[in-house]
Structure 1
Amino acid sequence: MRLTAEPAYILHVRPWRETSVLVEALSEQHGRIGLVARGVQGPKKQVLRAALQPFQHVRLDALLRGELARLATAEAIDAAPRLHGDAALAGFYVNELLLRLVPRGDPFAELYELYGRTRARLDGPHLAWTLRRFERDLLDALGSGLDWSADADGAPIDPAARYRLDPEQGARRLLSDRGHGERSAAATGRALLALAEDRQPEPSDLPGLRHALRSVLVHHLGPRGLKSWEMMADLARASRPAAVRDDNP
């Protein structure tokens, strides 16, 4: 199958053999695709190399045979955002989640649109909220989303209560006598309702929402975690005793 002028976002690039690279991209019509770009290290391929950068929005031509497509050309559609610090780590996290959870070859048009929205927000304010929205919408697009306005038994979410998220059944209300560790890893009902309404939660509610959503993602990822989570943990240890910010995955 030939792909012609297919819009796509570059998720990951790694060297392959002496002069080539392997590329993972999220395309508009064909979902996540793997590509082989041959000879891109040559002096005449500077424009192509510049287009094959993570977060870059491109228009590509390729020939799909088997699991990998052979890339013919790629041209940048716009300028990729220049991400630094927390925004760069968040972008790495977004790309890694897509690589781990989205199978190749399944068309997810909503994911292409979701990535475009998220990419535009990564270098803006409210980074933690941007990531929580992305996690919610990614789960929805993959058919693993939850009802954020009602608990697993169908009762409306109580904004004053705390909930853990069961990946299969939804929100489970915590009893008041639960230990501090379990409560700190749970989301407030107020945060879940804000997520349901696409309304930014209170800053104090974001850490619990992050922990609750991570438990759902861990279930779908399996035993192998994310490198971005490891990086976040390393940064947190390095910054002690300073308070750990919630702007990251």
Structure 2
Amino acid sequence: MRILGEHAYVLHARPWRETSLLVEVLCAEHGRLGLVARGVRGPRRQALRAALQPLQHIRFDAVLRGELAHLNAAEALDAAPRLQGEAMLSGFYANELVLRLAPRQDPQPELYATYGELRARLAAGEPLAWTLRRFERDLLDATGVGLDYAHEGDGDPIDAAARYRLDPGHGPVRVRGERGGERGRTATGRALLALAADTAPPVEDLGGLRRVLREVLEAHLGGRPLASWQLLGELGRVSAPPVAQDGGESS
């Protein structure tokens, strides 16, 4: 099958054989797709090679043969965000999540749009903790396993003053009489309601929100941890930043 003029975001690229690349992209029409880009590592293919770097937005032509498509042409549609430090690691984390949770060749226009929004927020320098929580929420929704953060699993409204854990198959579960380390595995109802309303919660609630969403993601990852989690430890610097002197979030 020929693919012509397809728009996509580059998720990952790695060397293959002497002069080629294996590239994973998230497409507007074909979902996650693997591309074989032959002969792009030579000195005369620098522009094409640059277009196949992670976070780049491209338009490409290819021929789909089985599981992989053979790339015929690609061009950058804009300049990829120049991320550094924690923002760069956040982009790596988001790309790895998509690679692990999005099935190949399954059209998911909502996920494509969600990824574009994340890319724009990272480029704009928006607070990383809240940016990642929104992306995790929207990624789960787009892949069909999202939760209702405004109601408990049994349908009762979330109490802003209570604490909750997230059951991946049931939704928020109210925790009563926390013991020992249980508090570290819960989020405030206030944080869940903020997530449901797409409104940034207080900074002190972001750490709990990260932890409960991570448990949901772990369940859908089948017990195989992400390389980015290992790289960043508990993602503490990115996901639960201290309060900056101006009252905002530091990254």
TM-score, normalized by length of structure 2? 0.93
Residues 146 and 28 from structure 1, CA distance in 2 versus in 1: closer, same or farther, beyond 3 angstroms? same
* Amino acid corresponding to residue 225 of structure 1 in structure 2: P
Partner-residue secondary structure (3-state), 1:145: coil
Distance (whole Å) between structure 1 residues aligned to residue 235 and residue 143 of structure 2: 30
- Greater Cα shift, 86-95 or 225-234: 225-234
* Amino acid corresponding to residue 169 of structure 1 in structure 2: H
Partner of residue 29, structure 2: 29
Distance (whole Å) between structure 2 residues aligned to residue 145 and residue 223 of structure 1: 18
Distance (whole Å) between structure 2 residues aligned to residue 84 and residue 152 of structure 1: 39
Partner of residue 162, structure 1: 163
Partner-residue secondary structure (3-state), 2:233: helix
Distance (whole Å) between structure 1 residues aligned to residue 235 and residue 144 of structure 2: 33
- 2:131 is equivalent to residue 130 of structure 1: yes
Partner-residue secondary structure (3-state), 2:36: strand
Partner-residue secondary structure (3-state), 2:46: helix
Residues 110 and 13 from structure 1, CA distance in 2 versus in 1: closer, same or farther, beyond 3 angstroms? same
Q: Offset of 1:62 from its aligned partner?
A: 0.3
* Amino acid corresponding to residue 223 of structure 1 in structure 2: G
Distance (whole Å) between structure 2 residues aligned to residue 95 and residue 129 of structure 1: 17
User: CA offsets per residue over residues 52-90 of structure 1, 9 Å max, x none?
Assistant: 100000000000000000001100000000111110110
Distance (whole Å) between structure 1 residues aligned to residue 136 and residue 111 of structure 2: 11
* Amino acid corresponding to residue 93 of structure 1 in structure 2: Y
Q: Offset of 1:120 from its aligned partner?
A: 0.7
Q: Where does the alignment leave 5 or more consecutive residues of structure 2 unmatched?
A: 243-248
| Superposition RMSD in Å | 1.8
Partner of residue 16, structure 1: 16
Answer whether contact 1:90 1:248 (CA < 8 A) is retained.
no
* Amino acid corresponding to residue 128 of structure 1 in structure 2: A
Partner-residue secondary structure (3-state), 1:122: helix
Answer whether contact 2:127 2:250 (CA < 8 A) is retained.
no
- 2:174 is equivalent to residue 173 of structure 1: yes
Which 4+ runs in 1 deviate beyond 6 A?
A: 246-249
* Amino acid corresponding to residue 75 of structure 2 in structure 1: E
Q: Offset of 1:125 from its aligned partner?
A: 2.4
Q: Offset of 1:194 from its aligned partner?
A: 0.4
Partner of residue 143, structure 1: 144
Distance (whole Å) between structure 2 residues aligned to residue 28 and residue 194 of structure 1: 29
Partner-residue secondary structure (3-state), 2:71: strand
User: CA offsets per residue over residues 142-189 of structure 1, 9 Å max, x none?
Assistant: 1101111000111100000000000000000011x2224111221100
Answer whether contact 1:86 1:248 (CA < 8 A) is retained.
no
Distance (whole Å) between structure 1 residues aligned to residue 175 and residue 18 of structure 2: 55
User: CA offsets per residue over residues 29-66 of structure 1, 9 Å max, x none?
Assistant: 00000000001112221111110100000000000000
Q: Offset of 1:245 from its aligned partner?
A: 3.0
1:65-84 equivalences under 5 Å are 65-84=65-84
Residues 211 and 234 from structure 1, CA distance in 2 versus in 1: closer, same or farther, beyond 3 angstroms? closer
Partner of residue 64, structure 1: 64
- Greater Cα shift, 39-48 or 99-108: 39-48
Q: How many residues align?
A: 242
1:44-59 equivalences under 5 Å are 44-59=44-59
TM-score, normalized by length of structure 1? 0.93
Partner of residue 245, structure 2: none
Answer whether contact 1:35 1:68 (CA < 8 A) is retained.
yes
